[in-house]
């Protein structure tokens, strides 16, 4: 197989994802309602309770909306990735997965490309969210919008791979409610998305360490720092490392017979 074959395949998978996105744009728009509610309603309520001191990457006192915006970017990717991964092995995407797996190109390449294509659509949604966030005065520097792109793509790959791994291997989590309770909520709440970790440390040191071990924390911090044009090697390093490891595990360990791709019940 030549490089051109891989390229055509990569573009084909991306194109299909965008075509589907366009077909289902109302569904994707409604997916923005959740983070916007958090940003507008939840943050307004919480800003009165929570004082935020000056912490990097911010150079001044910030509003709570400004603090949680990067976490909500992570939330958009988290929900989309889990939903996307489940649909790959259990419902909407089964037909397209059958076609995908008939390609002569290596499966890890096909699956990573598929995860990336779903990630790119999530990233598009994050940008729409960030534009809307301007309305509540979340105003990162202009170049921050560009600088945050690699962090968003890495986060998408990391969470998409995690979703695929879970959907393939944990039968009990084959529906979205299960994934929401046992993966999405714990990952989101036990991270720095909603509160700075120093505050968590004051409240409970062991919870603080759980948050530190949660890769989502580092993905959110990578988003936060790059959005404000600051370099955070630890957050970036951990996010990249975890993304690579999870992508390897999810694609090399992918077994169609553990899914509904073949039709009927997974074995």
* Interface residues toward other proteins, by CB under 8 A: 1-2, 4-6, 8-9, 11-13, 15-16, 19-20, 23-24, 94-96, 98-106, 110, 255-257, 261-264, 267
Distance CA 197, CA 212 (A): 8
What minimum distance in Å lies between the beta carbon of 96 and other proteins?
6
Distance CA 161, CA 115 (A): 7
Question: Tokens 């084909």 — which residue?
Answer: 12
What minimum distance in Å lies between the beta carbon of 4 and other proteins?
7
What minimum distance in Å lies between the beta carbon of 103 and other proteins?
4
Nearer to other proteins, 32 or 262 (CB): 262
Nearer to other proteins, 54 or 102 (CB): 102
Return the ∠ at Cα 153 (arms to 247 and 3), rounded to 5°: 65
Other Cβ atoms within 10 Å of 18 Cβ, number: 13
Is residue 59 left, alpha or beta, with left meaning phi > 0 and alpha meaning psi from -120 to 50? alpha
Nearer to other proteins, 109 or 127 (CB): 109
Structure tokens at 209: 């360490």
Question: Tokens 């988003």 — which residue?
Answer: 223
Contact 157, 119 (CB under 8 A): yes
Distance CA 248, CA 19 (A): 27
What minimum distance in Å lies between the beta carbon of 28 and other proteins?
13
Nearer to other proteins, 54 or 267 (CB): 267
Nearer to other proteins, 19 or 41 (CB): 19
Return the ∠ at Cα 173 (arms to 169 and 219), rounded to 5°: 80
Nearer to other proteins, 233 or 264 (CB): 264
What minimum distance in Å lies between the beta carbon of 1 and other proteins?
6
Q: What are phi and psi of 97, to 5 degrees?
A: -70, -35
* Contact partners, residue 140, CB within 8 Å, separation at least 6: 130, 148, 227, 228
What minimum distance in Å lies between the beta carbon of 165 and other proteins?
18
**CA atoms 226, 229, 231, 234: torsion sign:** negative
Nearer to other proteins, 2 or 48 (CB): 2
Nearer to other proteins, 164 or 261 (CB): 261
What minimum distance in Å lies between the beta carbon of 41 and other proteins?
33
Contact 188, 75 (CB under 8 A): yes
């Amino acid at each position: 197989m030549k490089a051109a074959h891989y390229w055509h395949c990569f573009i084909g998978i991306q194109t299909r994802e965008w075509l589907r996105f366009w077909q289902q744009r109302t569904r994707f728009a409604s997916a923005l309602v959740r983070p916007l509610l958090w940003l507008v309603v939840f943050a307004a309520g919480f800003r009165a309770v929570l004082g935020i001191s000056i912490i990097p990457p911010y150079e001044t006192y910030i509003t709570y909306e400004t603090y949680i915006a990067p976490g909500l970017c992570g939330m958009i990717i988290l929900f989309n990735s889990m939903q996307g991964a489940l649909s790959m092995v259990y419902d909407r995407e089964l037909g397209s997965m059958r076609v995908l797996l008939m390609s002569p190109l290596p499966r890890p390449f096909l699956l990573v490309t598929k995860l990336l294509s779903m990630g790119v659509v999530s990233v598009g949604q994050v940008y729409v969210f960030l534009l809307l966030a301007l309305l509540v005065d979340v105003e990162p520097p202009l170049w921050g919008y560009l600088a945050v792109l690699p962090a968003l793509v890495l986060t998408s790959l990391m969470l998409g791979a995690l979703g695929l791994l879970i959907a393939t291997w944990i039968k009990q989590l084959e529906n979205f409610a299960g994934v929401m309770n046992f993966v999405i909520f714990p990952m989101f709440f036990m991270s720095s998305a909603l509160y700075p970790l120093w505050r968590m440390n004051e409240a409970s040191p062991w919870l603080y360490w759980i948050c530190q071990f949660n890769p989502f924390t580092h993905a959110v911090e990578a988003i936060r720092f790059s959005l404000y044009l600051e370099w955070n090697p630890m957050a970036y390093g951990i996010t990249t490392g975890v993304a690579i490891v999870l992508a390897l595990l999810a694609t090399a360990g992918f077994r169609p017979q553990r899914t509904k791709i073949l039709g009927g019940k997974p074995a």
